[in-house]
Each structure stands twice: as C-alpha cells, then as structure tokens.
Structure 1
Amino acid sequence: MDPSRRKFLATTLYSAALPIPAFHEVADRAEKQTGAPTARVGKGHVATVRGVTDSIADILDEHGGAIARPMAASFIVNTLGPYLRADASGAVKRDMLSAASDLVYLTGWMAMYEKEHGRAQQWYHRALTLARDADDHVTYCRTLRGMALQAANLKLGRRALDLADSAAQAAPRSGPRLRAFLTGQQAHGAALVGDRRQAFTRLAETEAALSRADDRRDAIGGYDLAAYYFHVSSVTYALGDLPASIKAMQDSNRVRPPMEKQGRAHASALLAQRRLEAGHLEASCATWESFLDDYENLSSARADEHFTTLRATLRPYRDHRTARSVLIRAGEVGRRKVTV
C-alpha cells in the first residue's frame, strides 16, 4: 500500500484542528500491555479477533456504544495487545494487523459516536497505522471515511469533504458496496460546503454502486439502503430542503434492519427534530415515541443527548395533549433508566 503524502496530510490537518485530550485510559495501557504473553499466533487467533469484532458490532447495534466500547477496550488491552507482540508467520502477521485495524477503527467510531472526539481521533490514527502496516486498503480508506464523518458531525465542512475525498482515493480497487460507502460520505461533505452539483452527482454514484452490490451485511463498515437514505437526508438537509430531508429519513428507518436499534434511535431523533422544524408537531411527537421505544434499552451518550433534546423541544408545547403525553412517558423512561 502506498498512501500519498496528501492523504496523510489530510489526517494531520484534521488532528491539528481540535485539541486532543490526554489519552491514558485505554490506548496507553494497550501499549504497556501487562496481559499474559502469547508466544506465537496463528490463523485461529486471527479468527478470534475477527469474531470478537463482529460480536461487538452486533452488541453496539442492539445495546449502544456505552455497553460495547468497554468490551472492545478490554479485549484490546488483555488479548489483542499480546497477539500483536507475538511471533507469527509473515502472512499471519499481516492478517492479525488487518484484524486489529478493524477493531481499533470500530472502537474509534464508537468513541466518536459517544462524542469523545479527541479520543476517537487517537483510535482512528492507530487504525490507520495498523491498516498501513497490514497493506489493508479497505480498512485504511474506511478509517479516513470515519474521520470524515466525525468532521461532518463537528460541522467542519471543508475538512469533512477533504477526508472523504482522501478515503475514496485510497481505495482505487474498491467493490461496489465500499464505493457506495465512500461516495455517500463525499456527497455529504460536498453538501456541507454548499456544492449542490457535486453533492447530487455523488449521491447518484452512491445509488448506482449500491444497486450493483450483493446482499451481504457487513458487521464493520457496512453500507445498505438505510445508510444511503440517511445520506440523502443529510445532503438535502444541509442544502436547505427540509421536506426532502424528512422523506429520506423516513425511508431510512423504513428499510433499516430491526437489530439496528442505536442507528434507528439516532435517525428517529433527527427526524423528530426536523418534523418539528417544519411545523408538524403531531408527527414529531409520533417520531419521538418511536425514539423512546429504542432509547429505553440503549446505553449511549448520543442517545442521551437526543433524550435531552426531546424534553427541551417539547417542553414549550406541554399544554398540547400529544406533546404532554410524550413528555410524561419520557419522564417515566428517564426514571427507569436511572434506577436500573
């Protein structure tokens, strides 16, 4: 793998854009690993890492990042660290580095989703290094794409677009599903800088690539129709088309796999806010009810933030019967989550 200096420059500039807090809790412990040494690793150890990564991704979907991320951190500290330092054949060593980069990328994504952005950048940079050393184009560009999403969430439009473009350039041999994964993020980045033509061109490329993909569901970095509609909603909202954004977000939740509770809760919260922004109080309340269905069983800082938004945005309408009903239920859900 030969990532260009430009691609590395993009990640460096992004890091410089934000203060990065001290990173002691997990990453340093992974470097100073004290777990039992592993003398030599083979294909079975690589399969273990990939299996655990898939399981953590499933737990993330079902229960949220506050449950899944400590599991990932513990496995990295106690198991993955010794595996990476163990002897192995050249092929197994590369496979182990690649498997490690997937898990570290996922851990960074969870930190980003839980709004620990400095920590997420540290994980992302570690994932880039592991993927580079493994000659793993897919995880390398997937990680750059994750950094682009983080920049978009932080409203850093130009950096979001630069990182999304770098991710696409790092994957010249990508298949159709990965291509859709990358161009969808490019579309959002273009919309954030007001480039309507590029945004819709990228969305068309995303739709075309996804139509050529198989039906496999990837646990890490997967891209499906729900993700595509979410990108359509993000693009149209950034470009000021509120009705189109609402429709696309409805479509995203309509086709979302049932097990993706965390993703559905996030989409529902955004949809509820946009419906209220459009003046549709009853529809917003109905969507907040759907959010609460998922939120009650999630442990996620971002979901908690949406819960706070629910109460803040509906409080001015507490004299409205439907809004009052949602607020009462929200209070009950909040009390149950505190006492669990």
Structure 2
Amino acid sequence: MPEVRMVVDMTTKVSELDDQFGGRHARPMAAAFLVNTVAGYLHADAPSDVRKAMMSAASDLCYLTGYMAVDEGLHGLAQRYYLKALELAGTAGDHLTYCTTLRGMSVQLGDLGYGARALELADAAAAASLAAGPRMRAFLAGQQAHAAALLDERDRAMRHIREAEVAMDRAESPVTTFGSYDPAALHYHISQVRYELGDVSGSVAAMARSNEIRHDIYRRTRVRHGVILAERQFRIGHLEAACQSWKAALGEYPLVQSGRVDTGMRSMIRLTRPHLGNAQVRALHDQARAVLPRAMFTRAGTG
C-alpha cells in the first residue's frame, strides 16, 4: 500500500504542475512515470486488495495523462490513455475514475465537433454514477448540459444546468476543496451553454464571473479561458475589453505550455489583424510579438 500511496501522491503533484504550467510540460513526466514505475507495479505480485488499489491509482494517472494530451492537441494519444484508464478503472471497480474518464472523453469529442457522441458519453458517465455525491453530480451534469447545447437541445441543456446548480449548492461548504468541481467550473459550463445556444453576451458575463472566482493555482485554465472570454467580447463588439482580456492572458503566456492556449493566441492574431489602426490593438500586437513565437505571426500572414 505504500507504493499505491506513492502513485496517488505523484499523480496529485503532476496534476498541480499541469494546472500551473500546462500539459506540454507535465505530460512527459507522467508518461515516463507510467512506463518506468507504474507498469512494473501492475505486473507485480500483490494481495487482491493492494492490486485493485494499484489499478485504481494507475487508472487515475492514465486519465490525467490523457487529459494533458488533449491540452497538447494530441487527440489520438489522449484516446489511448483514456481507454486504458477505463480498462483499469473497470477492473478495479473504481466508478469515480470510470465516470470521470467517460466525461473527459465527452469533453474531448465536444471540442472536436462531435456533439452527438459527446452527449452519448456524458449521459453514459452520469448513468454509471448512481451513487455519486452532489459535487460529482454537478461535475457530470455540467458536461451533459454543454453537450446538449452543442446539439441545440435547449430544454435539455437548461435542465442539466439547473441540476448542476442544485447539486453545487448542496456540495458547497465554507472550506473550498482544490482539485474538484467548484463554482468557477460551474460558471464556465453556464458560459458554454449560453454561447452554444446563441446568448453570447450572457456567455461573456458567465465566463467573466468564472475567471473572477477561480483559484490562483489554475493558471493554465485562467489563461485559456481568458482567451475564450476575449474572443467572445470581440464577437459582441467590445474591442477594448477584448484587448484587456487578451493582454492579461499574454502576461502569463510564457509560463504556460498548452496547445489549446497556442490555438487561442493564433486566433487572436487572425481576428485582430484587420483592426491594427486601433491603438489598443497595436499595443496588444506589440505585447504579443514580445512573448509569442514568431511562427504564429508568419503563419497568420502578418510578417
């Protein structure tokens, strides 16, 4: 069991590094640990209870490694890690990691544009978690809402958002737990649902609220969601507010290695290029040229 606890603790540490620095930094460490240490443990002789606990710990690490691969944009690799996480969690009887992994697969497919499959997996995760506590219920319902909104199923999406809100109210306590679904994550899902259903202004308000209340440790998420907020502010004509959001994200960009953040920064260059006559946009581009790879500008055709 001490070896199991070591794997659990290492997974927690890698997750913290991912939160702060992005998947491109943290995933190689997780992959090396899986191959060089955890794989040996999974093949070692052990009592039944220890073996199941090790499979559970390994499944959580595989899920995290898949999640970080998604952040890098390595979607085929991410799916392989997710499938291994499901296999290990199923064998270990670890319903929490099993449902979390199904949800992660739903998020990935939704982001790739496969709304129907995303909803199918989100529903499967919820169906497999009948004994889930309120925080887990909110975690799953939020993704069901987003996936339903991707298919323009308004009533279903709003029903799941209300379910997530009720569950979050039940889960909240004076002591906030790091590393779990929290009010900032709930407001993110509200923002996503509103955006997919056509309420861009409401989406901006919810995303701004999510960013305001997010814990400082989640730097990668703060930068990525700041970029999303900026794009939506830009879409509704709030150019100066969008520039401020992009500038805040650029301020932390050098500390974050994330394929999804890079995609957002390339989008920023493309969207703002026609507005270089605006002083704030010019200042934004000056800041961007100081911190972004030059290739992002050459590929966008800006020299």
Deviation at 1:116, TM superposition (A): 1.1
Q: Deviations over 1:91-132 (max 9, x none)?
A: 111100000000000011111121111111111100000000
In 2, the alpha carbon distance for the partners of 1:121 and 1:335 equals 28
In 1, the alpha carbon distance for the partners of 2:251 and 2:114 equals 32
Question: What's the counterpart of residue 99 of structure 2?
Answer: 141
| Map 1:70-219 → 2, pairs under 5 A | 70-213=28-171, 214=173, 215=175, 217-219=177-179
Q: Deviations over 1:248-269 (max 9, x none)?
A: 0001100100010110111111
| Map 1:1-340 → 2, pairs under 5 A | 43-213=1-171, 214=173, 215=175, 217-219=177-179, 222-334=180-292
SS of the equivalent of 1:190 reads helix
In 1, the alpha carbon distance for the partners of 2:291 and 2:102 equals 37
Deviation at 1:218, TM superposition (A): 4.9
The answer to whether the 8 A contact 1:296-1:337 is kept is no
The answer to whether the 8 A contact 2:24-2:71 is kept is no
In 2, the alpha carbon distance for the partners of 1:197 and 1:143 equals 26
In 2, the alpha carbon distance for the partners of 1:313 and 1:195 equals 29
The answer to whether the 8 A contact 1:268-1:291 is kept is yes
Equivalent residue letter for 2:128: A
SS of the equivalent of 2:255 reads coil
In 2, the alpha carbon distance for the partners of 1:129 and 1:143 equals 10
Equivalent residue letter for 2:50: V
Question: What's the counterpart of residue 300 of structure 2?
Answer: none
User: Structure 1, unaligned stretches of length 5 or more?
Assistant: 1-42
- Cα distance 1:337–1:58, how it changes in 2: closer, same or farther (>3 A)? farther
SS of the equivalent of 1:299 reads coil
Count of equivalent residues: 294
Deviation at 1:301, TM superposition (A): 1.2
- Cα distance 1:84–1:337, how it changes in 2: closer, same or farther (>3 A)? farther
Task: Tell me the TM-score normalized by structure 2.
Answer: 0.94
The answer to whether the 8 A contact 1:253-1:268 is kept is yes
In 1, the alpha carbon distance for the partners of 2:190 and 2:42 equals 40
SS of the equivalent of 2:116 reads helix
In 1, the alpha carbon distance for the partners of 2:26 and 2:130 equals 32
Deviation at 1:51, TM superposition (A): 0.4
In 1, the alpha carbon distance for the partners of 2:70 and 2:215 equals 22
Deviation at 1:79, TM superposition (A): 0.5
Task: Tell me the TM-score normalized by structure 1.
Answer: 0.84
In 2, the alpha carbon distance for the partners of 1:204 and 1:66 equals 35
Q: Deviations over 1:42-92 (max 9, x none)?
A: x10000000000000000011111110001001001110111111111111
In 1, the alpha carbon distance for the partners of 2:148 and 2:293 equals 42
Structure 1 vs Structure 2 CA RMSD: 1.4
Deviation at 1:217, TM superposition (A): 2.6
Q: Deviations over 1:148-176 (max 9, x none)?
A: 10111011111111100000001110011
The answer to whether the 8 A contact 2:4-2:54 is kept is yes
In 1, the alpha carbon distance for the partners of 2:258 and 2:295 equals 12
User: Structure 2, unaligned stretches of length 5 or more?
Assistant: 297-303
Question: What's the counterpart of residue 301 of structure 2?
Answer: none
In 2, the alpha carbon distance for the partners of 1:117 and 1:63 equals 19
